[in-house]
Amino acid sequence: MRVRVATTALGITAALLAVPACSTDTTDTKPGTATSARSGKPADAAQQAAPLASASLETRLLDQSDLGSGYLRKPERPTQHDDVTVIGCPALSELSGDAATGGGTLTFPRKAKTAFTYGGSSSEISEELYSDSANKLSEGIGRIFDAMTGCPTCQVVAGGIPIDMASQKLPAPRGLGDERWSQLLTFSTGGRSTVVKQTAIRDGSLLLVISGSPALVDRHLGKALAKATAVG
């Protein structure tokens, strides 16, 4: 079976990043810091920020006018629950299993997402926005980044297709938001490989996750955060 690796890779990262939305309620749990970087902003102010509604998050997503020429929005696919199995990474397997069986009770109902292709090639970039209490967002995204970067190599079987995945923790970009995480993922199957960069930034009660071609993530991260956190 021929597989378009870029599309498959982003589909897998989207499935894996859905796991924090199924985390248990840990409002009183101290956020994990193994892969995060803090800006030093007062935690009290961040935790008191009211969550944003999904409709508000939608207006804060990047659009074609923000990105410039050469970008085409990808049509949103109908919601589906592909069978994703993780082999060789118990921590990540446990998280995906919890999500698949509904083991978690917390959901992030306030969310919005979009994705674009660039230049008619396989280069893609996706953006996801979530809003909830600071602690819930921090614990959820921190837990999955810890799990993914804690396993340098593993195998993911998505829809019956085995894909080798390698992960590498990256230095989080400084000076952005209250907490930051970043990693580089390499997906290989059928003799082809695709590299996906993921960077997540929590700013108060808002969580931004940018995934895609490393150059595109670096190019648009600051713009995405500025628009997502703009007042008014």
State pTM to two decimals: 0.80
Task: In whole angstroms, give the CA distance from residue 137 to residue 164.
Answer: 28
Strand intervals (E) in 140-205? 153-158, 161-169, 179-189, 192-203
In the chain, the number of structural domains is 1
Comparing CA positions, the residue from 55, 185, 160 lying closest to residue 111 is 55
Residue 133: what pLDDT? 92
Whole-number average pLDDT of the chain: 77
Radius of gyration of the chain (CA): 17
Residue 34: what pLDDT? 34
Residue 184 has pLDDT above 70, yes or no: yes
Residue numbers of the domain that contains 99:
5-228
- Check which CATH number belongs to the domain holding 151 and give it: 3.40.1000.70
Q: What is the DSSP letter of 190?
A: T
The pLDDT tens digits of the residues spanning 74-87 come to: 887 665 555 778 89
Residue 229 has pLDDT above 70, yes or no: yes
Residue 127 has pLDDT above 90, yes or no: yes
